[in-house]
Amino acid sequence: MAEAILTAKDLVKHYPIKGGVLRRTVGHVKAVDGVSFELLKGETLGIVGESGCGKSTLGRLLMRLEEPTSGSVVFDGVDMYAQRGRAMRKLRRDIQIVFQDPYTSLNPRKTVGDIVGEPFDIHPDVVPRKGRRKAVQDLLDLVGLNPEHINRYPHQFSGGQRQRIGIARGIALNPKVLICDEPVSALDVSVQAQVVNLMEKLQDELGLSYVFIAHDLSVVRHISDRVGVMYLGKMAELGEEDDIYGRPTHPYTQALLSAVPVPDPTLRDKREQIVLKGDVPSPANPPSGCRFHTRCFKAQEKCSVEIPLLEIRPDGAGGHLSACHFAAPREIIETVDLTDTPQATTFDSGLRDDSSLEPVGDGTQDS
């Protein structure tokens, strides 16, 4: 087993809720409430969950864009939250981020060259001043954009092309870990595949480790080696991709998987759907015991009292981490394994953006 490169331990982030005339703290939004995991070298760890589950806050904590309420993140043996000044800046070279929204993640008043070259301005010792233009062009080439577009502005690019620019900025300092916060969810279907393939290629070539945060379970399955499922600030289930998709033991994971529509009409009536009652409770006032018990089809009295620990529970073929008192495997989807089947496809992997010579249309979804 590969060694861990990033270890999160009991991460907690509570945002105070201010109220009243004196702006006193009247409560806390428990965005992330005790999350622990390890990211192994060269792997992709997918984090899935619905809106409000704390997955984006988790990403920001891992980047130290927020200070945690408690808990630690250890990168390569170094406690990230204990670092200050120069040491923290040095650490930032190794962990970088790709954002969701290709429109707000690039400064509209800077050229592509400025944006992708900014990491070198902040860390001037990485590339000598003279070589920067070349380095930026190499990066553009690496992410499949035309290196001659170095002087263009972001609004001259489509959504997919902008996301490539964001990735180029993220990998400029040669990081070891890339946190990807919903990197493809704002993109059109056909463009999404281009970016996913690019990210897989870059991982192979540069030996990156990804934390891939997304709400799309299909994309996460495609790209991830291991997957963590979050619900209301806690990790509900964590395991290998096969464990989570093939033998889920947590009722929330099972419900989530059963709700995802599969693009195959013949499965229409064969799929059984687990319908959850009610809405996700407010993270300011999460339920006692197991946070899922208010919506769970398996809930019993124990669940509202005792918090289930995230521990290895049997799943029928060994075991994996699950936070349910009554964890039991249940096959929700029948997996077709295509790993060794040659797949004849009409189109290539879209690693290079052929159209980057001329921006046309707009690669983001209709709203």
241: contact with other proteins by CB under 8 A: yes
9: contact with other proteins by CB under 8 A: no
261: contact with other proteins by CB under 8 A: yes
DSSP secondary structure code for residue 187 in this structure: B
Q: Which two tokens stand for residue 330?
A: 């249940």
What residues contact residue 327 under an 8 Å CB cut-off, 6+ apart? 249, 250, 313, 314, 315
CB of 180 to other proteins, least distance (A): 13
Q: Which is nearer to other proteins, 308 or 350 (CB)?
A: 350
CB of 9 to other proteins, least distance (A): 21
CB of 262 to other proteins, least distance (A): 6
Kindly tell me which residue out of 152, 176, 226, 293 binds other proteins, with binding defined by CB under 8 A. 152
Residues 332-361 binding other proteins (CB under 8 A) are 333-341, 343, 345-350, 352-355, 358-361
Q: Which is nearer to other proteins, 302 or 361 (CB)?
A: 361
Rg (CA), the chain: 22
Residues 168-197 binding other proteins (CB under 8 A) are 169, 173, 188-194, 196-197
Q: Which two tokens stand for residue 156?
A: 């001259």
CB 167 within 8 A of CB 202: yes
CA 315, chain centre distance (Å): 25
Binding mask 10-49 for other proteins (x = CB under 8 A): ----------------------------------------
Residues 51, 280: Cα–Cα separation, whole Å: 9
Residues 199, 140: Cα–Cα separation, whole Å: 14
Is 198 strand, coil or helix?
helix
Residues 205-224 binding other proteins (CB under 8 A) are 215, 217-219, 221-223
Q: Which is nearer to other proteins, 309 or 356 (CB)?
A: 356
Residue 56: closest CA among 89, 98, 88, 19? 98
CB of 311 to other proteins, least distance (A): 25
**Cα 167-170-174 angle, rounded to 5 deg:** 120
User: By rule CB under 8 A, what count of residues binds other proteins?
Assistant: 105
Considering Cα of 60, then 193, then 242, then 245, what sign does the dihedral take? positive
Residues 46-105 binding other proteins (CB under 8 A) are 50-51, 60, 63, 65, 88-89, 92-93, 96-97, 99-101, 104-105
CB 58 within 8 A of CB 48: no
